[in-house]
Structure 1
Amino acid sequence: MRAVFGLVLIVGVALAGFAVFMVKDFLGQQAKMAAAQAKQVETVPTKTIYVAKRQLKYGEELTQADVRQVAWPAAALPEGVYTEKEQLFPAGDARPRYVLRLMEPSEAIMEVKITKPGEDAGLTSRLEKGMRAFAIKVDVSSGVSGFLRPGDRVDVYWTGRVEGFDRNSNGDVTKLIETGIKLVAVDQTSGGTISEAVVARTITVAVNPQQVAALAQAQSTGRLSLSLVGNHDDTVAEAIEVDQRSLLGLAEAPQIQEAREHPEEEICTIRTRRGSDVVETQIACN
């Protein structure tokens, strides 16, 4: 019996050892497969590029705080991306770059989506906070013979007839309504690279909303003329208003002066209908 028991014990130990060996071998194979799979994923070639950190809108200035670096599969690399900081923000060049297309977060920064250093994205990048672009119609005389350039400053004069004034005594009036407003475009050109005089049809100025309303009213009720301001001229023009009589140095007409000194007595009446008749009765004027 002891021999049989010993034989069974030896067989049991052998089977247990074999089971342990099989489990260890299985676990080893699983570890090798996992390592092989991880190694296979790491072998996909990537390249570091710059992407948008947040949503970037058209006309915004692109800064270093708006971009970040990510690893991008080299096989799917878009054309015109930026892989080096010096390419996107050249050292020693403080000129800004602007966004030309809407970009979502983590979207690749590409050459076609931003301007070159120093270029602008159009009128929106030229307008300061709170300012609006307003177009003024001009011709060869009112537009300073075509010598206006984007970036120049002009004074705006209005010429017209004020309703309710005596036309025989006053005529048209010319008044300075805006001073030193900035030009942001001449016709469809917003860059200051015009090398010769160009007779424009419209000029676009940067003004606040209140000035927009004033210029719109002036343009619809009279004629606007522009006066170019010098680059180094920091003086502010005083209030100017000229009519025909002050221009020619004429005295006021005697009958008009007498009428102003001795105004006619105002008479107020009411009309009352009585049958087919209308009776007019004088009353006290309020």
Structure 2
Amino acid sequence: MKNLRILSMLLIATIAGLAAVVFASRWLTQQSSSGITKVAVAAADIDLGQRLSPDFVKVVDWPTASLPPGAISDTQALSGRVVRASLTRGEPVLESKLTPQGTAGGLSAVIADGKRAITVRVNDVVGVAGFALPGSYVDIIVNTLRDSKDGKPVAGDRSDQSISKIVLEKILVLAVAQEVNRDDTKPKVVNAVTLEVTPEQAEKLDLARSVGTLSLVLRNQIDPQPADTNGATKSTLLKEPAITAAVAVPVVKTVQVVRHVAAAQRAPGNCIGVIAGVDHGAECF
């Protein structure tokens, strides 16, 4: 009898333990499922301007508490969308990194509103030894000849006329040659660089490359300070003193006019003869 009571107690304890395990497992599953969200991420490295397809996107579990804003969970909604920024493997595909619906792929999809893309020819020196990569910012220097105020070239030695001046600042490099990948930090010596400019800057750049030679100056991406310079000439480069031309002062000659005034001779008037003794004279009046 005593053994039966012990066995029944053990059976009840076993059942209670199993029930507790089952309820705890269900509670943990519910808690974990409520804190997880399906998020679409890049299945491979994706370059900007590339059109998405099912091969480039996959869905993974993402903690709801750390879900980035603009995350997308429906992979079907991403079909045909174009990315405006490079994505690395495992990076969430956000709405802010996608172009609007219906945008065609390619470089034109990543040009900002109101901007244009223009390509300039460069070499290993002009292109900052290949470090002018997509995503970096550059200043543009033009070396040309100065003009006088009337628009004609300044007379004198050609070296004295040469001037180098920064004409455009903080210009975004969209692509080098035919590559638009912004994640590569290795230098690439190419013969062409595509820049993102405003319509006014495009006009200045086109004029600059027609009147002189261009050089790219790599600048810090977070440097907002403008470079207000007067340009460099031969005299400023060599720190030559400014030579002021002597101004001839006209000599004013004072001519002294001497007027000779002839004494007016008094015309004789009425005269009478005067006899004083043996002397004879005349008195005129």
Give the structure-1-normalised TM-score: 0.50
Give the structure-2-normalised TM-score: 0.50
